[in-house]
Structure 1
């Protein structure tokens, strides 16, 4: 299980522990839907393409590692492609911040806040889900949480 802890009460950047790969940092660029994931100093850039038909690429050294395509113009769900597999990242219900990660129709992971009033979160996925996919999925969920909050600090 991954533990995602914001850097401060006002920050949307996270430290992530519980990885087999080491420790990770997830960051957001100010006033944009772009950012990065760093795992023990190895940087993966997250770039956004498009506005109405938005997608995000996770890149390392200019090579695409994963792609997330938003379902619908203002949707909170994503089709996530990594290593030939397509996963669906979607909210569990309309009223909660919890997310499911599905492969076909099978839930292979969950992302949920520690409790309703915090940004601290947990990611729990089957061993078949690569850790970089878990991190990218959480980054996307945190981006949605950030965009639906009145005060989105850098």
Structure 2
């Protein structure tokens, strides 16, 4: 799997993901850590489970995936869903993150130090889980950018 993630505009945190079986679009709500993920023609809601919560659900009628950030001071998410458990975590220093488990071994890397464009590479078969993991990765990057301003 080799996917390209491109912001929808120069200063946007919304992305399109291309190179998979279906195109994906990830959006963030302006004033919250929620949003949507569209995979092909299927639109999912990303809902945070409370203002101070570290839990997000990806849903369409019912919950497909749950992501839990057990420690607010680390870049680590525990994801559960139909493919089994997976972990999204920082890949050393810098912004890259990895997704391991549930049949996935993916790396999410920015293309350059000063860009939001990114690449997803590695082994994975569930585009919905991949898009959700990238949404969480972009959320982490967005938080970091906002805290440095």
Q: TM-score, normalised by structure 2?
A: 0.90
Partner secondary structure for residue 56 of structure 1: strand
8 A contact 1:125–1:134 mirrored in 2: no
Determine the C-alpha separation between the residues in 1 that align with 2:42 and 2:50: 26
Choose which of 95, 98, 101 in structure 2 pairs with 1:97. Answer: 95
In 2, distance between residues paired with 1:51 and 1:77? 18
1:35-75 C-alpha deviation (Å, 9 max, x unpaired) = 00012331000000134441100001x21111100021333
In structure 1, list runs of 5 or more residues that go unmatched: none
The residue that corresponds to 2:143 in the other structure is 147
CA shift, 1:31, in A, is 1.6
1:128-139 superposed matches below 5 A: 129-139=125-135
Alignment correspondent of 1:12: 13
Aligned equivalents of 2:20 and 2:46: distance in 1?
Answer: 20
Q: Distance in 2 between matches of 1:123 and 1:90?
A: 14
What residue in structure 2 maps to residue 32 of structure 1?
32
- Which residue of the partner structure matches residue 123 of structure 2? 126
CA distance 1:133–1:84, shift in 2 (3 Å) = closer
* Cα distance, 1:74–1:114 mapped onto 2, change above 3 Å: same
Q: 2: CA distance between counterparts of 1:5 and 1:119?
A: 7
Q: Work out the CA distance in 2 between the residues paired with 1:131 and 1:46.
A: 15
- How far apart, in 2, do the equivalents of 1:25 and 1:45 lie? 12
Matches of 1:47 and 1:83, distance apart in 2: 18
The residue aligned with 1:108 is 105
Mapped contact 1:13–1:28 kept (Cα < 8 A): yes
Q: Distance in 2 between matches of 1:92 and 1:16?
A: 21
Q: What value does the CA root-mean-square deviation take over the aligned residues?
A: 2.1
Q: 1:15·1:23 contact (CA, 8 Å) conserved in 2?
A: yes
Aligned-pair distance for 1:138? 0.3
Check 1:85–1:107 CA distance in 2 against 1; reply closer, same or farther (3 A cut): closer
